[in-house]
Chain A
Amino acid sequence: MIHQAPILTIATLLLTAFWVPIIGMFKKESAYYIALAAIFIAFAAACGTLYSVLLHGPIHYHMGGWPPPWGIEFVIDYLNAGVLVLIALISFLTTISAKKSVEQEINRDKWPAFWSLYLLLIMSLMGMTETGDMFNMYVYLEVSSLTAYGLIAMGEDGALIASFNYVILGSVGASFYLLGVGYLYIVTGSLNMADLYRLMPGLYHSKVVFTAFAFFMVGIGIKMGLFPLHVWLPDAYTRAPSAISALIAPTMTKVSAYVLFRIILSVFHIQFSTMIIPAAKLLMWIAAVGIIYGSIMAIAQKDIKRMLAYSSISQIGYIVLGLALANRMGLIGGALHIFSHAFAKGCLFMVAMAIVYKTGIRNIDEFKDLNKKMPFTMAAFCVAALSMVGVPPTAGFFSKWYLVLGTISGRHWLMTAVILASSLLNAIYFFRIIEKTYFSSFLGGGGHGHHKTPTVVMTEAPAMMVIPILLMAVGILAVGLFNFQIIHHLLQFIVPGGLA
């Protein structure tokens, strides 16, 4: 059955999602447990897929037994097997910790529909990583957008507007993607990625291909929150229910980034974006501006979720920068950053969720003494923050290390400076929080620290919430320490031959 593992990831979630609301009609509480079980099975299937890929090499799974390019196929190679497990693992952990928060923030009547959409969102993200067909990708894109519209709108005051803006921009993005597919189809007649890759070199100088490329960039750029197209992202992440922020922040933008990798590397050839048109150079500048912009905006925020959202914009810039460097180290760095940032951002948003759940505090200025109230949560926060800043041996350091190597070996000194400067900017906004939390007991009190020890009772979030958070923190360290294994077994294969 192992060769069926790729489809089991999708099918389990899909077939469960339809029963969740139906069973939920009779017993609202069951919805969560069904969803959790389904996600666990999907996670197991994802692990099986990874195992199979590692043993036997890339999997080509033909839907309905029709060979490509006539049918749709799933292509699971080394990179997306890794991303698949990443998505499955993070959604599993998020789901465990999300229970209490959802129960607090969402009306009980809406749980079945909520968990159903939640499952479908995860399903679509997994589908996006697995599929090898351009149009199938569009359909998944739409499923993920549509579920996200609904889920984001369930948030606090202002979520409606955020969601509506996302509807508008998201459908522009998806439509642009669809246009890109159409433009490629009109000159190649194919929708299969591998087939397109084979046909593409003969068409490099076609203006149609160039236009298609531009539309793909804009479409996916909107979806992943790339700098000038990010306008929907901060509001959506801030206003969405905490559990949804914690789910979509680490997974959705990462999957979109993965799609960008796929399109640049295995639909168009990397040479197309470096030699035929100056796309890589343009992307690089966009990414650099995005990195700095996101970091500076994050410094200006007081709301922790909004700050994390802007930080996401900045981190997406890193991934795109790695891709745009178009050399060995850059690509590996960008791909590794998908992993490290997914863990770090997931952990941070889960921490934010736990804090909001337990204390209701969102404003960073009120974080004082939070370390005494929620020591474990804040410890995980520190680990994730250090990863974002890029302190070794966390995951963030190593992806940054490869990115720096990439910029240097490409002689893009300015980009080196951007990465390094941005890690300092990251340090500013993360250490601000750490300082507020841990080191401000006597600030403003006037007294000196030697005499009174404020008594703050420890009110940690429930174990169900804290344990996944701590596991995420461990994951950050694990990705950091075993990054060579990840690169050696998964990521090195994305580098096209002949690339320095």
Chain B
Amino acid sequence: MEFFLGKFNYWVYIAMMMIGFYAMIAKHNLVKKIIGMNIFQTAIILFYVSIGTKKGGTIPILEGAGHHAVAPESINVAHYINPLPHVLMLTAIVVGVSVTGVALALIILIYKRYNTVEEDEILRQLS
């Protein structure tokens, strides 16, 4: 049970990612694929954020700081959660929304051209 609970976040992220992945490769509807892609990327973000957590850690903003220097040694590292994965994930989120935007633009054009967003129908029209 400890084994299960200790990594619960990881199990959930795997489950979520697989849901997204399945939607991406198995669904015929192009919009559904994009929804799957969003879920997929969000799962990765969940994974990264989970890396950064520390039990008993607080948000990564220095407490009680104005604009004055603080001696590096006086800061307790274990008190703050790891900021690096958060930084990486900001990038990933932004990338995700960019790809979504482009993909939706493509979907609109595909709909205008083929009058459907179902992949099998498009393939039937192409062949």
Which residues of A pack against B, CB within 8 Å? 135, 139, 142, 145-146, 149-150, 153, 157-158, 160-161, 163-164, 167-168, 171-172, 174-175, 178-179, 182, 185-186, 191
Q: Which residues of chain B are within 8 angstroms of A175 by Cβ–Cβ distance?
A: 40-41, 44
A selection of 5 A-B contacts at a CB cut-off of 8 Å is A142-B99, A146-B95, A149-B106, A157-B113, A172-B21
- B78 CB within 8 Å of chain A: no
Q: Are A182 and B44 in contact (CB under 8 A)?
A: yes
Across-interface contacts of B107 in A (CB, < 8 A): 164
Which of A139, A160, A168 interacts with B91 by CB under 8 Å?
A139
Q: Are B47 and A167 within 8 A (Cβ)?
A: no
Question: How many A-B residue contacts, CB cutoff 8 Å?
Answer: 67
Determine if B51 is an interface residue (Cβ-Cβ < 8 Å): yes
In whole angstroms, what is the CA distance A497 to B49 when docked? 38
Chain A CB within 8 A of B71 CB:
no
Interface residues on B, range: 20 to 34
A146 to B33, CA, bound (A): 17
Whether the Cβ atoms of B47 and A179 lie closer than 8 Å is: yes
Residue B122 CB within 8 A of the other chain: yes
A178 in contact with B92 (CB, 8 Å): yes
Which residue on chain B has the smallest CB distance to residue A135?
A: B88
Q: Assuming the A-B contacts A149-B106, A153-B106, A167-B102, are A182 and B91 also in contact, with contact meaning beta carbons closer than 8 angstroms in the complex?
A: no
Residues in A with CB closer than 8 Å to B33 are 168
Interface set, chain B 1-45, CB cutoff 8 A to A: 21, 24-25, 30, 33, 37, 40-41, 44
The answer for the CA separation of A101 and B99 in the assembled complex, in Å, is 28
B25 — which chain A residues lie within 8 A by C-beta? 168, 172
In the bound complex, residues from chain B placing their C-beta under 8 Å from that of A145 are 99
Contact indicator B30/A164 (Cβ below 8 Å): yes
* A320–B119 alpha-carbon span in the complex (Å): 32
Distance between B2 CB and nearest chain A CB, rounded to angstroms: 19
Chain B residues engaging chain A, CB cutoff 8 angstroms: 21, 24-25, 30, 33, 37, 40-41, 44, 47-48, 51, 84-85, 88, 91-92, 95, 98-99, 102-103, 106-107, 109-110, 113, 122, 126
Q: How far is it, in angstroms, between the C-alpha of A153 and the C-alpha of B24 when the chains are bound?
A: 20
Complex interface: chain B residues within 8 A of A163 (CB): 106
**CB contact between B44 and one of A135, A158, A178, A191 (< 8 Å): that residue:** A178
On whether the beta carbons of B44 and A164 are closer than 8 Å, the reply is no
Q: What are the 6 closest A-B residue pairs judged by CB atoms, nearest first?
A: A142-B95, A167-B103, A160-B110, A164-B106, A186-B51, A149-B102
Question: Nearest chain B CB to A140's CB is how many angstroms away?
Answer: 11
- Roughly how many angstroms separate A191 CA and B47 CA in the complex, as a whole number? 16
Q: With A153-B109, A168-B33 as known contacts, state yes or no: A161 contacts B122, CB within 8 Å.
A: yes
Are A160 and B41 in contact, with the CB atoms below 8 A?
Answer: no
Taken together as a complex, chains A and B put the C-alpha atoms of A437 and B33 apart, in Å, by: 44
List the A side residues contacting B95 at CB < 8 Å: 139, 142, 146, 174
Complex Cα–Cα for A164 and B126 (A): 14
Residues of B within 8 A of A171 (CB): 37, 40-41, 99
Residues of B within 8 A of A160 (CB): 106, 109-110, 113
* Most chain A beta-carbon contacts within 10 A, residue among B44, B122, B126: B44
Is B98's CB under 8 angstroms from A179's CB?
A: no
In the bound assembly, the distance between CA atoms of A191 and B82 in angstroms comes to 14
In Å, the complex CA distance between A185 and B126 comes to 44
What residues of A have a CB within 8 angstroms of the CB of B110 in the complex?
160-161, 164
CA distance A179 to B85 in the complex (A): 12
Q: Which of A139, A168, A174, A185 contacts B85 (CB 8 A)?
A: A185
B102 touches A150 (CB 8 A): yes
- Contact indicator A168/B92 (Cβ below 8 Å): no
Contact A185 B92 (CB under 8 A): no
Q: Are B24 and A158 in contact (CB under 8 A)?
A: no
Query: Which chain A residues border B113 with CB–CB below 8 Å?
Result: 157, 160
Closest CB of chain A to B35's CB: distance in Å? 12
Contacts of A146 in B (CB 8 A): 95, 98-99, 102
Q: Which residues of B contact A191 (CB under 8 A)?
A: 84
CB neighbours (8 Å) of A149 from chain B are 99, 102-103, 106
For B111, the closest partner residue in chain A by CB is A160
Is the pair A167, B88 in contact by a Cβ cutoff of 8 Å?
A: no
Contact assessment for B51 and A185 in the assembled complex, using a CB-CB cutoff below 8 Å: yes
Query: For A158, what are the chain B residues with a Cβ–Cβ distance below 8 Å?
Result: 126
* Distance between Cα atoms of A113 and B89 in the complex (Å): 28
Interchain CA distance A149-B48 in the complex, whole Å: 26
Known pairs A171-B40, A175-B40, A175-B44; list 19 more (Cβ under 8 Å). Answer: A135-B91, A142-B99, A145-B99, A146-B98, A149-B102, A149-B103, A153-B106, A157-B113, A158-B126, A160-B109, A164-B103, A167-B106, A168-B25, A168-B37, A171-B37, A171-B99, A172-B24, A178-B92, A182-B51
